[in-house]
C-alpha cells in the first residue's frame, strides 16, 4: 500500500488502514521534508508565533507506517504499477492519491521575494517575520484564507489593504446578501477592503491596480484560490475532470484499477446533492480516508456522500458552514446580521441543504444533523432564532 501525499488526507488514510485491520506494508510519500502537519494553524497560531508546531500527534513507527519525506512524485505508470520519483521508481499494489491542492499564483509574481502564498509550513515561516516587523501588507483575495491572514496581520499590528477583484468578499462561495454583512468586518478590524479592484502588477514597495492606483506594500500575500495538485498525473491515463480534479466514484475509486483518490485532489458524485462535488476543506480530508480504508479491506458497502463542513476563525468570529447550497435554494435568515451572532439556512422543497452559522455553533450542530437526516423544516419556525432548529422539524 502506497499513499502519495503526507497531508491530512494521506496521513489519515494510513491511520484508517491500520484501524480497519490492514496488516500489509504501508508507505506514505511526502513532497515536503517536514514531518506531517496540520494546516489550519498555519494562518493562525503558527503565523503569530503562539504555537511551536502543528505536527500530527501520530506515532508512525508504532503503526508500522513508513514515511518517505522530501520526495517528489513525478509520474504514474499504471501498467508497471510504479510511481516515478527523483530517487527511482516506487512500486505499489494498491495506491492512494492524496496530493491535495496547490495555490493559484498571481501571474508574473512567482519569483518576487515580497510576494507570498500561505499553503505550507515554509510559507508560514516566511511570513512570520513580516508580521513581526509590522510591515505594510497587501492581501490579494478576500476569500477564507485572505480573511484569516488579514485577521492575524491586524492582530500583529500590520497595516493591511485587501484587494478583491469581485464586488464583495467570498463572491464565488456565498450570495451577495449573505456576504454583504461580512464586508464590514474588514473595516471593523482596521483593514482597508477594496472591491472591484484588479492587480495589474507588483513592483518593489507597491502593488499597481488596473485603474492606476498604487498601494504601498512591503509584502504581498496572494489568496486567490487553489487547484487540485494533479499535474504529475499527465499521461497516466487516470481520468481528470475539467477542474483538474481526479474523477473518483462513490467509493473514491479512480478510473485505474487499485488506485483511489481522496481529499482536495479528487471530486466525487453526491447522491445527496445530485452533482459531483470538489471539496477543498479539512473535514473532507478527514472523512474520505475512512471510506478508502473500508474498500481496501473489503467493506465494499461503504459509500462516500458526506455533508461537507468547514469552519473559519476571522475578525473575532467563528464562522461555520455545513452542506452545499444551489442558487435556486430558498434562503432563510436566523437573526440579524448586524448583530454579533446569526445564521442562514438554505431550504430545497422544505429540506435544509446547507447552513452558515456565525457564532451560533448550536445552529450548526443541529443543522448538520438535519441535513444528514433529510428532515423537512417549517420555514417560519426556522426563521425564529429563538427556536432551536431541531424544534422546527415538521
- What pLDDT sits at residue 391? 97
Q: What per-residue confidence (pLDDT) applies to 300?
A: 82
Q: State the pLDDT at residue 325.
A: 97
Domains annotated on the chain, with CATH:
2-102+226-296 (3.50.50.60), 105-222 (3.50.50.60), 316-392 (3.30.390.30)
Q: Can you give the pLDDT at residue 53?
A: 81
- pLDDT in the model for residue 243: 96
Predicted confidence at residue 50, as pLDDT, reads: 84
Q: What is the pLDDT of residue 15?
A: 98
Q: Which of 93, 87, 52 is nearest to 70 (CA)?
A: 87
Look at the block and give the residue holding cell 504581498. Answer: 220
**Per-residue confidence (pLDDT) for residue 382, from 0 to 100:** 97
What pLDDT does 46 receive? 86
Report the pLDDT value the prediction gives residue 52, as an integer from 0 to 100.
75
Quote the crossing angle between the two packed helices 8-19 and 282-296, to the nearest 10°. 40
Residue 44, pLDDT score? 85
Cα–Cα distance, 73 to 369 (Å, whole number): 39
For CA atoms 109, 110, 113, 117, the dihedral sign is positive
In the structure grid, which three cell numbers stand for residue 344, read together?
442562514
Closest CA to 336 of 319, 354, 358, 313: 358
Cβ-contact 99, 232 below 8 angstroms = yes
pLDDT given for residue 255 in this prediction: 98
List the helix and strand counts (H, then E) for the chain. Answer: 8, 26
Give average pLDDT by consecutive 10-residue segment, the chain, 394 residues. 97 98 97 94 86 89 97 97 96 98 93 94 94 95 96 96 97 93 96 97 96 97 97 97 97 98 98 96 95 94 94 96 96 95 97 98 97 96 97 96
pTM for this entry: 0.95
Amino acid at each position: 500500500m502506497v499513499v502519495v501525499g503526507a497531508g491530512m488526507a494521506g496521513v489519515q488514510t494510513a491511520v484508517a488502514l491500520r484501524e480497519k485491520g490492514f496488516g500489509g506494508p504501508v508507505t506514505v510519500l511526502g513532497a515536503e521534508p517536514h514531518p506531517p502537519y496540520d494546516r489550519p494553524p498555519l494562518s493562525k497560531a503558527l503565523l503569530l508565533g503562539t504555537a511551536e508546531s502543528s505536527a500530527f500527534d501520530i506515532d508512525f513507527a508504532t503503526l508500522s507506517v513508513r514515511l518517505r519525506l522530501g520526495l517528489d512524485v513525478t509520474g504514474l505508470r499504471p501498467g508497471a504499477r510504479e510511481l516515478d520519483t527523483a530517487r527511482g521508481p516506487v512500486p505499489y499494489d494498491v495506491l492512494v492519491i492524496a496530493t491535495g491542492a496547490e495555490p493559484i499564483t498571481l501571474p508574473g509574481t512567482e519569483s518576487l521575494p515580497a510576494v507570498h502564498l500561505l499553503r505550507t509550513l515554509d510559507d508560514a515561516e516566511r511570513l512570520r517575520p513580516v508580521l513581526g516587523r509590522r510591515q505594510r501588507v497587501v492581501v490579494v483575495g478576500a476569500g477564507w484564507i485572505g480573511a484569516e491572514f488579514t485577521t492575524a496581520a491586524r492582530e500583529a499590528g500590520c497595516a493591511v489593504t485587501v484587494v478583491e477583484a469581485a464586488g464583495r468578499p467570498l463572491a464565488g462561495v456565498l450570495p451577495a446578501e449573505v456576504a454583504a454583512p461580512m464586508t464590514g468586518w474588514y473595516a471593523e478590524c482596521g483593514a482597508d477592503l477594496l472591491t472591484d479592484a484588479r492587480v495589474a502588477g507588483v513592483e518593489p514597495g507597491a502593488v499597481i491596480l488596473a485603474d492606476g492606483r498604487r498601494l504601498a506594500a512591503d509584502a504581498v500575500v496572494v489568496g486567490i484560490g487553489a487547484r487540485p495538485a494533479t499535474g504529475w498525473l499527465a499521461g497516466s491515463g487516470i481520468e481528470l475532470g475539467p477542474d483538474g480534479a481526479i474523477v473518483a466514484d462513490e467509493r473514491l475509486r479512480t478510473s485505474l484499477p487499485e488506485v483511489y483518490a481522496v481529499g482536495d485532489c479528487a471530486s466525487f458524485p453526491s447522491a445527496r446533492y445530485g452533482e459531483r462535488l470538489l471539496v477543498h476543506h479539512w473535514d473532507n480530508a478527514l472523512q474520505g480516508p475512512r471510506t478508502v480504508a473500508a474498500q481496501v479491506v473489503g467493506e465494499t458497502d461503504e459509500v462516500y456522500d458526506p455533508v461537507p463542513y468547514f469552519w473559519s476563525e476571522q475578525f473575532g468570529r467563528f464562522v461555520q458552514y455545513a452542506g452545499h447550497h444551489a442558487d435556486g435554494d430558498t434562503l432563510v435568515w436566523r437573526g440579524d446580521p448586524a448583530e454579533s451572532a446569526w445564521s442562514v439556512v438554505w431550504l430545497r422543497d422544505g429540506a435544509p441543504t446547507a447552513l452558515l452559522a456565525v457564532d451560533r455553533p448550536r445552529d450548526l450542530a443541529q443543522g448538520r444533523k438535519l441535513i444528514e437526516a433529510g428532515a423537512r423544516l417549517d420555514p417560519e419556525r426556522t426563521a425564529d432564532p429563538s427556536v432551536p432548529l431541531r424544534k422546527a422539524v415538521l
